[in-house]
Amino acid sequence: MAPHIDDTSTQESGQNEPRNEPKDGEYIQWETLPPNGALNRWSHVLTREHEFPGAQAMLYGAGVPNRDMMKNAPHVGIATVWWEGNPCNTHLLDFGKIVKKSVEKQNMLAWQYNTIGVSDAITMGGEGMRYSLQSREIIADSIETVTCAQHHDANISIPGCDKNMPGVVMAAARHNRPFLMIYGGTIRKGHSDLLDKDINIVTCYEAAGAYNYGKLQTNCKSGPGANATPSDVLEDITQHACPGAGACGGMYTANTMATAIEAMGLSLPGSSSYPATSPEKARECERAAEAIRICMEKDIRPRDLMTRAAFENALVVTMVLGGSTNGILHFLAMANTADVPLTLDDVQRTSNRTPFLADLAPSGRYFMEDLYKIGGTPSVLKMLVAAGLIDGSIMTVTGKTLAENVASWPALDPGQKIIRPLDDPIKATGHLRVLHGNLSPGGSVAKITGKEGLSFTGAARVFNKEHELNDALAVGAIRPDEGNLVLIVRFEGPKGGPGMPEQLRASAAIMGAGLKNVALVTDGRYSGASHGFIVGHVVPEAALGGPVALVQDGDTVMIDAIMNRIDVVRTVDGVQGEYEIVKEFERRRKVWVPPKMKPTRGALAKYARLVGDASHGAVTDLGGSAW
């Protein structure tokens, strides 16, 4: 049997520490040829001599052209998260075909396949959203399955939407074979003539809130548009918000993950900011084969790149650009899968030292398409490397360091308005805050840019499912004259949802309605497009009996993004303190009856049984014996 790369080997760079390999017993141990030689290191098991004649017959039938290629050519899997019906993903099969041709030009065998996706925008606010986060696990499972079962020697993954990207990276950490990611790219901006401004998918949700509260109207002063009704305006927005292929255009979760993964060195320079329909995106697909060959020749593998320094880079870029709370969930999951220690405390520490600089949607004026025009992600990384905010020495899929990758890119123009100077940030510290307190003793994640203020106190209004809040907003039942309200949506966590659905429909409706007296708290998630005073990922979740299950209407909730706390406070006989609410929670717990969780069968039921909490990434393969 050919030798293995064991967990005591090191990279050719001369590292003294053991290489980060999947641990013995956690995964099947695959027979492999040693590095720095033949590139068909895994596939040779099937194609050498005559040990697996049936496998070779099938491979000939699938397109292997001759005996020489059968015996010597490496096998590269090309995984597209392609499916029709979602702009983020509809074009990815075509990208996969470009990559396949480029791989074949390198005298390697290219095998294209796809995995599943779920559109958050289409499922938002409905029962289908419960399938969104669990699709990340299915994507990871799918790519791990095909890569390992078919003995592929490398993998190129092409994701388009937000869970797609952590899914393909988690798969890479599991199979740990040469890998790179090609982001499907951002969508172009839409335009509404009746609003007389550029729009995007989030405009639809915010406009719905404005419509329900009687605040949606045309901005046309003359011509046919001047007589447009609110319904006409909403129809104009929905018809023009998504002008073609590509992922949602702001610094929402898809672009958050793409920029972070580029900062980790797992994609080619510029991948995260090239629009889906740009010529640069097609050229990136053509360059992928050369890059994956370099990774194969130099034995650069995913776990070599998924280092602690790389995750620190991802966190910094997310804070600088104003990225999504979902990014935190996905970074924790990716790090967990790669056996890299990363916790919520690390997130907060990074937030404390990182300024928020980008005037990007959802809280800002610009979109990824605008950032692309001033140099894109590489120009931002170049600035951050020069400032010492990220580590430019990390290795990347090009075989060069991150600093070397961006050295030839233009510096940001001092006159551009999208990325603020380091000495004049939007906020001196990060907009993502990790909150603890008696409402979330296991942690929660807040998205607070500072534009909403840094603290909020209000009376709790409790909703046991997301649809209850959506129904209340649809009829205008949350009013601006009710004083400060903390709207709590519970039983929507990883297990309780099940699936930890995003709640953009509610958060956007609140913004569109102009309800500035409202904060949102949930054990579920928010879309990267959500903004306002929002706190999600509350741990322990309500389904597990966390304190959020015990909150009642009228309780006073205090959120403090300076002290990083979220607490229910209670005054008894004029005295306010922790003791009072602890005793009250103890009383309520004695009479609390856990709800019967549904469903009990199918994909969501399996997910609910396996999934861990949000503070550890909501992963389904936490380890430990299966027997």
CA 546-547-550 angle, to 5 degrees, is: 110
**pLDDT of 371:** 98
Instruction: Give the model's pLDDT for residue 453.
Output: 87
Mean pLDDT of 444-457: 90
CA–CA distance, 225 with 162 (Å, rounded to integer): 36
Predicted local distance difference test score (pLDDT) of residue 575: 56
Residues making up the chain, counted from first to last: 627
Distance CA 339, CA 181 (A): 20
User: Radius of gyration over alpha carbons of the chain, in Å?
Assistant: 25
List Cα–Cα distances, 332 to 180, 201, 249, 260, 311, in angstroms. Answer: 20, 27, 24, 13, 9
Give the confidence band of 627 by pLDDT, cuts at 50, 70, 90. low
Q: Give the separation between CA 363 and CA 351, rounded to whole angstroms.
A: 18
pLDDT bin (cut points 50, 70, 90) of residue 622 is confident
- Measured CA to CA, the distance from residue 274 to residue 368 in angstroms comes to 9
Among the listed ranges 90-104, 246-260, 515-529, which one has the minimum average pLDDT value? 515-529
Distance between CA atoms of residues 182 and 599, nearest Å:
36
Say if CB 376 and CB 273 are below 8 A apart: yes
Rounded to an integer, what is the distance from CA 526 to the centroid of its chain? 11
Q: Measured between alpha carbons, how far is residue 138 from residues 1, 48, 177, 619 in Å? A: 32, 32, 19, 11
Over residues 490-513, the pLDDT tens digits come to 999 999 999 999 998 888 888 888
Look at strands 109-114 and 75-80 and give their pairing: parallel
Nearest to 177 by CA among 55, 79, 285, 302: 302
Region for 514 from its dihedrals, namely left if φ exceeds 0, alpha if ψ lies in -120 to 50, beta otherwise? left
Per-residue pLDDT tens over the stretch 230-253: 999 999 999 999 999 999 999 999
Q: Which residues contact 319 (CB under 8 A, 6 or more apart)?
A: 350, 351, 354, 355, 356, 430, 431, 432
Convert the pLDDT of each residue in 471-488 to its tens digit.
999 999 999 999 999 999
Q: Give helix 201-212 / helix 504-513 axis angle, nearest 10°.
A: 60
Contact 272, 252 (CB under 8 A): no
SS3 of the chain: helix, strand, coil, percent, to 5? 40, 15, 45
Cα-based distances in Å from 396 to 119, 326, 602: 30, 24, 39
Classify burial at 106, counting beta carbons within 10 Å of its beta carbon; exposed 0-12, middle 13-18, buried 19 or more. middle
Compute the distance between CA of residue 177 and CA of residue 154 in angstroms, rounded to an integer. Answer: 5
The stretch 29-41 carries a mean pLDDT of 95
What DSSP line would sit under 9-49, residue for residue? ---TTT-SSPP--PPBTTBPPPP-PPSSS-S-TTTHHHHST
The CA distance from 555 to 581, in Å, is 10
* Residue 192 near residue 236 (C-beta atoms within 8 A): yes
Check whether 350 has a pLDDT greater than 60: yes
Alpha carbon 217 to its chain's center: 34
Find out whether 193 and 136 touch, Cβ atoms under 8 Å: no
- Closest of 412, 510, 508, 523 to residue 462, by C-alpha: 523
The predicted model gives 318-323 an average pLDDT of: 97
> pLDDT > 90: what percent of the chain?
86
- The average pLDDT across 343-361 equals 97
368 vs 361: CA distance, rounded Å: 9
Residue 147 main-chain phi, psi, to 5 deg: -60, -45
415, exposed or middle or buried, with CB in 10 Å at 0-12, 13-18, 19+? Answer: exposed
Q: What is the dihedral of CA 41, 43, 47, 53, to 10 degrees?
A: 150
**Strand, coil or helix: 555:** coil
Over residues 341-364, the mean pLDDT reads: 96
Q: Output the pLDDT for position 157.
A: 98
CA–CA separation, 333 vs 118, rounded Å?
19
DSSP letter string over 168-199?
A: HHHHHHHH-SSEEE----BPPPEEETTTTEEE
Amino acid at 332: L
pLDDT computed for residue 11 by the predictor: 47
Q: What is the pLDDT of residues 110-141, one digit of tens each?
A: 999 999 999 999 999 899 999 999 999 999 99
Q: What residues are labeled active site? A: 527
pLDDT recorded at residue 581: 86
What is the distance between the alpha carbons of residues 518 and 488, in angstroms, rounded to a whole number?
10
Q: Give the C-alpha separation, 473 to 510, whole Å.
A: 8
Tell me which H or E stretch contains 208: helix 201-212
> Which stretches within 421-575 are classed as H helix?
466-474, 504-513
* Residue-averaged pLDDT of the chain: 94
DSSP notation for 273-291? TSBTTSHHHHHHHHHHHHH
Could you tell me which residues come within 8 angstroms of residue 556 by beta carbon, excluding any fewer than 6 positions away?
457, 458, 459, 460, 568, 569, 570, 571
For residue 9, pLDDT over 50 is answered with no
> For residue 10, what pLDDT is reported?
43
CA terminus-to-terminus distance, the chain: 28
pLDDT tens readout for residues 56-81: 999 999 999 999 999 999 999 999 99
pLDDT in tens, 556-604: 999 999 999 999 998 655 556 666 788 899 999 999 999 898 999 999 9
The tens digit of pLDDT for each residue in 252-266 reads 999 999 999 999 999
